[in-house]
Amino acid sequence: MLFSVEPKTSIKDVFGRKAEFLDFLEKLENGRRLFVITGPRRIGKTSFLYASLNEIYRMKKIPYIIVDARKVISVNAHNPGEVIAKDILKLAQGKISRTLSRLEEITVRGYGIRLRSKSRELTEILEKINEKYERAIVAFDEAQYLRFAQRDFTLLLAWIYDNLQNLVIVLTGSQVGVLEKFLRFNDYKAPLYGRYHVRIKLPRFNPSEALEFLERGFAEYNMNVPTRELLSAVKTLDGVPGWLTHYGAYRVDGLSHWDAIEKVLEEAKGYIESEFKELDELSPRYRAIMEIVATITSTQPTARRKDILNALTLREGKEIDSKDLRKYLMRLVDYGFLEHTGYGEYYIPDPVVKRVFQR
């Protein structure tokens, strides 16, 4: 069901994403071993990860294990290596009767991975998986949280990449969090510096996809929702699947169009705020630029770079290098918060994001 509010785990429940899935599959077949699936929150990274790995297992019999990094960090930040081993074992829940501490021999059953191991160390378990399988996928969902671990997890990832040639690493996360702050491929001091990786960017649905998503979702409940309400939902909520799904679920549960929109907007604002905090940590200028663009574009379609520069200069009370501003703008475009018209003009493509910054 499209409006089920949990992450999807089967490709048949995932709307769209065919091009991204085929890209993933093709690169995997080309022998690529490090994948980063990025996109803003609620875009469907977890759903894409589970559904794709299930499908790849079905098609190619490549087994996989997924570890939720949030769980790893929330359980025990001091010894995450062991916790991850435990989490891998948790996938086998029901199969293990004794507690981990009493186990002498552990059976690891990820999706398709069957392994008996005397070891409780993650590195040894990974080595065993590497020995046993011609190819296996080890995935970390919301991988940016691993940067809060006491051990440097990128060292572990670099070690897997360099030594365990049968393992494919797949990571998901927000672009800022996972790429800039955790993996740091461009930082020559970072363990993963320069490693070849494939980035799969999950975009928002375009308006016609978003409309079709809602139409199909309501059809699954035999609900007839007026087209003008569907169009209004698409216009207000844009193409973020998580928000469209919640809108659909609220309507199915009996809320009126505007009540459903209001509820989703409130939730969405919270998500955007928490996601933007990652950028706040890098520099307060990102937020300032977003606020400036939101203000300028409340009366005109786009904001000129020159006007953004003037407004920022006024705010900070000092001269700002226009090259610097370009760098910030490029980043905001890369993260999907802004779009560039090609004529030195910018706008906020997501109406929900725009609301957050319009004060």
Identify the DSSP state of 178: I
Name the residue whose CB lies closest to ligand ADP.
44
Amino acid at site 142: E
Rounded to whole angstroms, the Cα distance separating 292 from 290 reads: 5
Rounded to whole angstroms, the Cα distance separating 238 from 235 reads: 6
> Which of 242, 279, 336, 357 is in the footprint of ligand ADP by CB under 6 A?
242
Only one of the segments 8-16, 114-122, 226-234, 280-288 lies at the binding site for ligand ADP (rule: CB under 6 A); that segment is: 8-16
C-alpha distance from residue 189 to each of 157, 195, 248 (Å): 15, 13, 46
Give the nearest distance from C-beta 185 to ligand ADP in angstroms.
21
Give the nearest distance from C-beta 144 to ligand ADP in angstroms.
12
Positive or negative, the CA dihedral 42, 277, 77, 138 is positive
Should residue 239 be labelled a site residue for ligand ADP when binding is judged by CB under 6 A? no
Should residue 16 be labelled a site residue for ligand ADP when binding is judged by CB under 6 A? yes
C-alpha distance from residue 44 to each of 17, 38, 277 (Å): 10, 10, 20
Should residue 17 be labelled a site residue for ligand ADP when binding is judged by CB under 6 A? yes
C-alpha distance from residue 4 to each of 142, 223, 252, 291 (Å): 21, 15, 11, 34
Rounded to whole angstroms, the Cα distance separating 62 from 140 reads: 16
Should residue 28 be labelled a site residue for ligand ADP when binding is judged by CB under 6 A? no
> Which of 20, 21, 28, 42 is in the footprint of ligand ADP by CB under 6 A?
42
Should residue 14 be labelled a site residue for ligand ADP when binding is judged by CB under 6 A? yes
Residue whose tokens read 């969902």:
141
Should residue 41 be labelled a site residue for ligand ADP when binding is judged by CB under 6 A? yes
Should residue 44 be labelled a site residue for ligand ADP when binding is judged by CB under 6 A? yes
Give the nearest distance from C-beta 287 to ligand ADP in angstroms.
22
| Cβ closest to ligand ADP, residue 58 vs residue 114 | 58
Q: Closest Cα partner for 39 from 147, 166, 165, 179?
A: 179
Should residue 245 be labelled a site residue for ligand ADP when binding is judged by CB under 6 A? yes
> Which of 34, 35, 45, 115 is in the footprint of ligand ADP by CB under 6 A?
45
User: What percentage of the chain's residues is helix, strand, coil (to nearest 5)?
Assistant: 55, 15, 35
Rounded to whole angstroms, the Cα distance separating 21 from 33 reads: 16
Give the nearest distance from C-beta 270 to ligand ADP in angstroms.
13
Positive or negative, the CA dihedral 284, 285, 291, 295 is positive
Rounded to whole angstroms, the Cα distance separating 43 from 174 reads: 10
Should residue 241 be labelled a site residue for ligand ADP when binding is judged by CB under 6 A? yes
For 24, the token pair is 């993933």
Should residue 2 be labelled a site residue for ligand ADP when binding is judged by CB under 6 A? yes
Residue whose tokens read 């005397």:
118
Give the nearest distance from C-beta 133 to ligand ADP in angstroms.
26
Helix (H) or strand (E) holding 333: helix 322-334
Give the nearest distance from C-beta 42 to ligand ADP in angstroms.
5
Give the nearest distance from C-beta 107 to ligand ADP in angstroms.
29
| Cβ closest to ligand ADP, residue 17 vs residue 285 | 17
Only one of the segments 14-22, 284-292, 300-308, 311-319 lies at the binding site for ligand ADP (rule: CB under 6 A); that segment is: 14-22
Should residue 15 be labelled a site residue for ligand ADP when binding is judged by CB under 6 A? yes
Should residue 204 be labelled a site residue for ligand ADP when binding is judged by CB under 6 A? no
Residues that bind ligand ADP (CB under 6 A): 2, 4-8, 14-17, 39, 41-47, 241-242, 245
